[in-house]
A and B are shown apart, each in its own frame.
Chain A
Amino acid sequence: MKTKQPLETPQKSPRRRENRQQNKPGRVNTKGLYKRALREAFLKLNPRVMMKNPVMFVVWVGTIITILLALYPSLFGPVPGDNQRLFNSLVAIILLLTILFANFAEAVAEGRGKAQADSLRSTQSDTIARKLLPDNTTVEVSSTELHKGETIKVIAGDIIPADGEVIEGVASVDESAITGESAPVLKEPGSDVASSVTGGTRILSDELIIRVTAEPGQGFLDRMIALVEGAQRSKTPNEIALTVLLAVLTQVFLIVVVTIPPIANYVGSPVGVVTLIALLVALIPTTIGGLLSAIGIAGMDRVAQFNVVATSGRAVEACGDVNTLVLDKTGTITLGNRLAEEFIPVNGHCVVEVADVALAASIFDQTPEGKSIVKLAHHIGSAVTFDRNAAEGVEFTAKTRMSGTNLPNGDEIRKGAVDAIKGFVRSRGGQLASDLDEAYERVSRLGGTPLAVACGEDIYGVIYLKDIIKPGMRDRFDQLRRMGVKSVMLTGDNRITASVIAQEAGVDDFIAEATPEDKIAVIQQEQAAGKLVAMTGDGTNDAPALAQANVGLAMNSGTQAAKEAANMVDLDSDPTKLIDLVTIGKQLLITRGALTTFSLANDIAKYFAIIPAMFAAVGIGSLNIMGLASAQSAILAALIYNALIIPALIPLALKGVKFRPLSANQLLRRNILIYGLGGIVAPFIGIKGIDWLIAAVGLA
């Protein structure tokens, strides 16, 4: 039986509210993570699981053989030397630890993803929904019985039982369970963004009538959980390529090791199977093999910590490869709300007359811009002089590019793009004022948006809507440029305004007077040139472009269509995050490259440790440049270093290499210096130190 949720007020369940705050997606509960990861590390020893990782599977097989040799040292024939059982046992333990460390790294990274899915799941609950019947009565049903198209009623204190669209009422909704943002959000019908509600959020005031838009189990939260859990399992193209490279290297070293015994026997220095296994394990890239999946999962986790849900690791990786960013001006480069700053009279009118007409044109306009015009007009002293109920509001459309009011006396008052108003005035038989273009250019050169206002055939003036560029945008675009990422700004503004904003913000290119079709056109154009494109969007008209882009970031406050078309959803609905996502993607790729370089560079020291030890009897002792104590201690030291370097690098794999906004060549040089040179030097020091300890303890 389903449990009924408290319907009175949110304060009735403070504990639950507190839990929701703690469980917001960005902050996952990682309590007991390491304990669970340790258990998982042992469970992953299952050969079916181990086979997924070719490098570690070879180590696993080597470990089994070494364990057998620890039990029966003469299994493959007599072996020279003392204490073979102890030596074989030590090697077996070290190899087992190597596998466990790699499994642990993967389990820790996976654990964080699972914790995120659990935290999302905790926001889901079966609730009792009030389903509206055709006769306007309500019947209580379980939320799992709600279907697409049905209407429900929710009142203050209710958990919204399913994803839907508001068709009646105005209410504030607490979306902190999903976004982590505690400030309530106003929901009302008729708006693309504000009419969309998500199941699992709580209505704080008033009541709403909602049309359900998702079948049970297919809501936003359900999809997010599936994505977070499923994303860990599928390998990205780069991971697949790297897996192939690692498998090729392992194959090469396997062949090398298999061909050693005949040569060793020929030169009169036979080599034992355990030594061969030790050499193989030391040479194959176990460090990157063990950490590869952890790096990928951690990349997803870093995206999740930014409160962004990615559909797959592929999407996160694509962020790192992005060449072009297509960004909307408003809300991304500039602060979302343009505010009316000034009324500029033309055609012989005065400021008060412009304010009166602007007020009349904006009285039905519920956009932030419209409200700011009303506020400025009131500030100047204007007041509505007509019967508002008898007047008719004219909605803005992308086609007409103007909105306004039809007054009860028959006057048509319009405000909108200057070109559109010019056309309107001409169509009504009016003359264009000579000082209009001057006012238009003045506002445009200030980087503002000019809106002309007219009453019938008479143009009254221009409203200066001020755009404020978000702080720090110029630096961020400079960083992107240094990384080789081009930024393109799209705006519905005129060319002069667009160029001023583009110059101030430091974007590389802009498209003025852009229509939704321009977005998809610019993406296709860039992709045709072989570039990867990222963009943000929230409206239904953005959906095709979001689907076309290589990285589409939809806003959580956006429409269902936009969220479904995109491959990432930003729970905080902040379009500027796209720039951060590019950084995270690049960091993921750099981390993988750096650790691969380090892992391969490690081989040099391991050669110098094990080969002279293997063939000491043939007179190549001079190659023992590290001065290792004995053949057995050399092998043990190399293997212990090989095992210990995995847990030592887990923090780096999970946190990622520190990102620096440098060009690809500079990054390559820097990483080769740090991780290539470091990968050569570190094992020499590490192996020598461990060898010294082994000799001191008297193990070998």
Chain B
Amino acid sequence: MKPGKDLNEIVPRDVSELIELVREQWQGNRLPIQLFLLMCLNLAIAPAVYATTGNEITRTAAYAIGILGIVTLGLSVYLFVVIFQPERF
């Protein structure tokens, strides 16, 4: 059995299929996808943190600080939503 055969059935064949897949997944599993995108964002933030601090912290700590920053920003956004749309809570 060729390993590529199964993969072909899963992976979308063109861009429109890919967009459709992402859209479906976004509607069904919003939270995991949001978390995944934030982790991706951290791929950009963490190296910047690591570069700024030099050798004072480890690479893992830089990633952790990046996530902490995202969580803090998320909390701030959440609080703004509470302030402007309190009836949702």
Contact = CB atoms under 8 A, between A and B. Distances in A.
A65 B82 contact: no
B68 A77 contact: no
B71 interface: yes
Contacts of A255: 76
Given A54-B78, A77-B56, A243 B72 contact: no
A75 interface: yes
Given A75-B64, A250-B79, 20 more contacts: A51-B78, A54-B79, A54-B89, A57-B78, A58-B75, A61-B71, A61-B75, A75-B60, A77-B56, A77-B58, A77-B65, A243-B86, A244-B82, A244-B83, A247-B79, A247-B82, A247-B86, A251-B80, A254-B75, A254-B79
Contacts of B65: 76-77
Interface string A25-59: 00000000000000000000000000111100110
A76 B79 contact: no
A263 interface: no
A121 interface: no
Nearest to B80: A251
Given A54-B78, A58-B75, A76 B86 contact: no
Interface in A210-252: 235, 240, 243-244, 247-248, 250-251
A244 B76 CA distance: 14
B51 interface: no
Contacts of A78: 56-57
Contact of B79 (A52, A65, A251): A251
B87 interface: yes
Contacts, number: 60
A572 B80 CA distance: 46
A589 interface: no
Interface of A: 51-54, 57-58, 61, 65, 74-78, 235, 240, 243-244, 247-248, 250-251, 254-255, 258, 273
A244 B81 CA distance: 10
Given A54-B89, A77-B61, A247-B86, A273 B79 contact: no
Nearest to A62: B75
A517 B72 CA distance: 59
A53 B82 CA distance: 9
A51 B58 CA distance: 33
20 contacts: A51-B78, A54-B78, A54-B89, A58-B79, A61-B75, A65-B68, A65-B71, A74-B61, A76-B57, A76-B64, A77-B53, A77-B56, A240-B87, A244-B82, A244-B83, A247-B79, A247-B86, A251-B83, A254-B72, A258-B72
Contacts of A273: 68
Interface in B44-65: 53, 56-58, 60-61, 64-65
Given A247-B79, A251-B79, A76 B68 contact: yes
A76 B49 CA distance: 11
A57 B79 CA distance: 10
- Among B57, B75, B78, B82, which residue has the most Cβ atoms of chain A within 10 A? B82
Contacts of B82: 54, 243-244, 247
Nearest to B57: A77
A526 B53 CA distance: 67
The 4 closest A-B pairs by CB, nearest first: A77-B57, A247-B82, A251-B79, A77-B61
Contacts of A65: 68, 71
Contact of B76 (A51, A76, A254): A254
A78 B64 CA distance: 13
Interface string B30-52: 00000000000000000000000
Contacts of B56: 77-78
A177 to B, nearest CB: 37
A342 B89 CA distance: 64
A292 to B, nearest CB: 11
A52 B89 CA distance: 5
A572 to B, nearest CB: 34
Given A251-B76, A254-B75, A76 B89 contact: no
B61 A247 contact: no
Contacts of A251: 76, 79-80, 83
A248 B72 contact: no
A240 B85 CA distance: 10
